[in-house]
Structure 1
Amino acid sequence: MTTTDRLPGIGDWSTYEELAALQQALLPGILERAAKSPFYQGRTGTDAIPGDAADFGRLPTTTKSDLRDNYPFGMLAVPRSELATYHESSGSTGQPTPSYYTEEDWVDLAERFARKWVGMDASDTLLVRTPYAMLLTGHLAHAAGRLNGATVVPGDNRSLAMPYSRVVRALHDLDVSLTWSMPTECLLWAAAAKAAGLRPDRDFPALRALFVGGEPLSPARRARISRLWGVPVVEEYGSTETGSLAGECTHGRLHLWADRVLFEVRDPDTGEIGREGVGQLVVTPLHRAAMPLLRYNLEDSVEVSYDPCPCGWVLPTVTVLGRAVYGHRIGDTLITQHRLEDLVYNLPFEYGVLFWRAQTASDHLRVEIEVAAEHRTAACAELADTVRRELGVECRVEGIAPGSLVPRDVLTGMPDVVKPRSLFGPDEDWNKAILYY
């Protein structure tokens, strides 16, 4: 593919049979590209990569450990001179998880991200509030915005130069119409806006949608964010290693971009692979030149369905359930953040609960919620009763003052970010030499 070739678009097929035929037509090309990768060449000898789709199912899955073990260049399938960008996914292992993309790859990446029922065009101002460092996420939204003519505000959420007070100012003064962030950011902006004397649902009239991704989002938290801001919350699902994998339709369901990526579901207990059901999502991007991935196991727990959607898109739907690390047991009961979050944000809107935390013990669940004094007793009693009823575990809920979990100075502060220097006057603090503060 060249940048002038047309990539598949929604509407190019009308049945799942036609979609499967499109996938099968594209698969030999990505197998041919993967054959140029040192990793896939040497995986099981000269017969490591099948020559056609018929033998695809015999391939073992590719894992995150494979990417880390072949850092930095073992996964590459093109000369380094053809690369456009290098990225690493977030993680706590300390080992880099590399991802490479060519200019051709970026056309596919940007198009996929922009596939939302809330479109982007030249009239939009898009605030990108995810990292611009080595992750893909900020660059991906930036590229999609520019591809569609939008004005992009690069509001990196890992930069000291972009505190929450500045985010609120940008949202308000620049007439931001679209944003891209993790869902938690939208709650923090709402709190920061209120701290600045602004109402999120009234004082940001240009805003028309919040694009979110990067963490599991329960229905109740989505509804809470949408009500706070008075606009739709549009979910996105993907990874640094793959780019966008799914986007939302008008009926609020996440659809997998199955014309661009081949999807499978792996049962983690048996290792069996299927096309739908609950398990780990396994992906094969079909338009990846720099670093082809064959049957890449994202290790995300999902539920994939091919049931019809009222939106009319002939694409499978996915519910992202998160990863096993999000769950902890109390006795025989698995407590997940996704399920508990839904119960917290089902508390009445009037209680004003935005921030919470919880900790499991051997025989009970401890929860703290930020809530104003006038609602504290009712909110704590209601949440404790709901958790006992819905999850079947003993629950102790404590109401704490707003600002306990998210201090006010985090929402209102404007830190002094200066350039490093080495020469100071007699009354200046020269301990701030060299480093940024």
Structure 2
Amino acid sequence: MTVIPKGDIAVRNRPEIGDWTTPDELAQLQRAQLPRIFEQAARSPFYAARFERDGTPRVAEDFAGLPLTSKQDLRNAYPFGMLAVPRAELATYHESSGTSGEPTASYYTDDDWADLAERYARKWVGITPADTFLVRTPYALVITGHLAQAAGRLRGATVVPGDARSLALPLARIVRLMHRLDVSLTWCNPTEAMMIAAAARAAGLRPERDFPALRAMFVAAEPMTVARKRRLSEIWGGVHIVEEYGSTETGTVAGECPEGRLHLWADRAIFEVYSPETGTLSDTGCGQLVVTPLYRAAMPLLRYNLADDVEVHHEPCACGWRLPTVRVFGRTAFGYPVGAVTVRQNDLEEMIFQLPLAYEVGFWRARAETDVLRVEFEAPDDVRDRAAVELAAAIDRTLDVRHAITALPVGSLVPVEALTAHRDILKARYLFGPDESWDKALMYQ
């Protein structure tokens, strides 16, 4: 166990894999921490008001009667309505990506960060001092880049802060870094891993052969089908593709075991499955994932509904971790009707990436219209027609919907310039020569 020496909720031993041998022992670890997290939650304005209205939970048995905490609750409490420690104790402040237009705030103490980094670092392939670890996710207000950097440094790796969606670090530069620095581990989303491979090819490199130091790619942020995961590994020469699942509000909540299954970190949080149809909560089954972190001082969350569609099981796994398994469908599990059939992204993804590797189909898009499913994808000239015919046949077998398949030349969906550009952000400039444009003076260019 890891002993944390200071802080109210932080004065405890955090469990590690192997500290329990049965489900009952794991449940005992959870129950023992609940009174502490109740006490900490009562220090935040949001939960203090809720407890004043509904009664304060004090013992583990009170947990079952607690209501859910929603994303809207976090939005309403923005920015510091969930804060349970003095602001002087905060180490970092974060916000969600705000795709809905209303961000949620999250904050962590140094001790919270120790828990976050430990959970992320539970990679079965290991993160070691010998590794050069490229972090290719945002370092902005979201937590992803900071999380990987903290875990990498915890394990002694050399961290390369590659950021993402940054003009300062275009794909071409990322390829150069990976190739010249002998990067052995990466952290990005699956689409980014596909983009980097395409950028490597555009630079005259072969992702399957010219990056011999690369041994694993850690991926998250997009639910993946088995076919897509397998294809990513093939593209990169058989490296391990290791999945991660979490959020800015919670940090890592699940990681992949050597058997290729995602396990919930149930020693560090309590997980439940919520059914919106019935309003009930259970330990297993299909529904929305509900999380109660057990070692969180700055921003305790009680029964926080992540609103991601999942399937949770408590079944033995050959890895021996004795933790529940989870399949994550995310918010892409929804579908659109085409005629009488509901078309889902996962169904299409599975078919796309079951096409032969030689077809080099990586980038695609689809539109579900009232009476026709339109699919477009990129493929090289010599295989484009065959790929279209085989995908059409797969859709006929699987979905039986009217469809229009269009195979596009390479570069149609992801322009070659996006893969090869070396343009960098320039510093502000004030003085220009007589033949220079000064339209962008004072601006980053």
Task: Measure the CA separation in 2 of the matches of 1:411 and 1:223.
Answer: 23
Greater shift, 1-10 or 176-185, is seen at 1-10
Matches within 5 A, 1:22-421: 22-43=29-50, 45=52, 47-230=54-237, 231-323=239-331, 326-421=334-429
2:92 counterpart letter in structure 1: T
Per-residue deviation, 1:119: 0.5
CA contact (8 A) 1:128 1:138 kept: yes
**Which ranges of structure 2 fall in alignment gaps of 5 or more residues?**
none
CA contact (8 A) 2:133 2:185 kept: yes
Task: Measure the CA separation in 2 of the matches of 1:286 and 1:5.
Answer: 11
Call closer, same or farther: CA 1:73–1:48 in 2, change over 3 Å. farther
Q: What CA deviation, in whole Å up to 9, does each residue of 1:346-372 have, x standing for no partner?
A: 001111101111001111211011011
Per-residue deviation, 1:325: 7.1
**1:431 match: secondary structure:** coil
Per-residue deviation, 1:44: 5.3
Per-residue deviation, 1:420: 1.2
Q: What CA deviation, in whole Å up to 9, does each residue of 1:316-368 have, x standing for no partner?
A: 00000121575212134221112211110000111110111100111121101
Task: Measure the CA separation in 2 of the matches of 1:95 and 1:311.
Answer: 40
Task: Measure the CA separation in 2 of the matches of 1:300 and 1:240.
Answer: 14
1:121 counterpart letter in structure 2: T
1:94 counterpart letter in structure 2: G
CA contact (8 A) 1:366 1:397 kept: yes
Greater shift, 258-267 or 414-423, is seen at 414-423
**Which ranges of structure 1 fall in alignment gaps of 5 or more residues?**
none
CA contact (8 A) 2:310 2:329 kept: yes
Call closer, same or farther: CA 1:171–1:326 in 2, change over 3 Å. farther
Per-residue deviation, 1:312: 1.1
Task: Measure the CA separation in 2 of the matches of 1:118 and 1:226.
Answer: 15
**1:111 match: secondary structure:** helix
Give aligned-pair identity as a percent: 60
1:338 counterpart letter in structure 2: N
CA contact (8 A) 2:71 2:305 kept: yes
Aligned to 2:443: 435
Task: Measure the CA separation in 1 of the matches of 2:379 and 2:385.
Answer: 9
1:294 counterpart letter in structure 2: L
1:436 counterpart letter in structure 2: Y
Aligned to 1:2: 5
2:432 to 399, 424, 428: 424
1:258 counterpart letter in structure 2: A
Task: Measure the CA separation in 2 of the matches of 1:69 and 1:325.
Answer: 27
CA contact (8 A) 2:51 2:57 kept: no
CA contact (8 A) 1:42 1:48 kept: no
Per-residue deviation, 1:48: 3.8
CA contact (8 A) 1:87 1:100 kept: yes
CA contact (8 A) 1:40 1:48 kept: no
Per-residue deviation, 1:428: 2.1
1:372 counterpart letter in structure 2: P
**RMSD of the alignment, in Å?**
1.3
Per-residue deviation, 1:47: 4.2
Per-residue deviation, 1:426: 2.1
**1:430 match: secondary structure:** coil
**TM-score, length of structure 2 as denominator length:** 0.96
CA contact (8 A) 1:2 1:104 kept: no
Q: What CA deviation, in whole Å up to 9, does each residue of 1:179-215 have, x standing for no partner?
A: 0000001111111111111111111011000000011
Call closer, same or farther: CA 1:48–1:132 in 2, change over 3 Å. farther
Per-residue deviation, 1:387: 1.1
CA contact (8 A) 2:293 2:301 kept: yes
Task: Measure the CA separation in 2 of the matches of 1:354 and 1:32.
Answer: 50
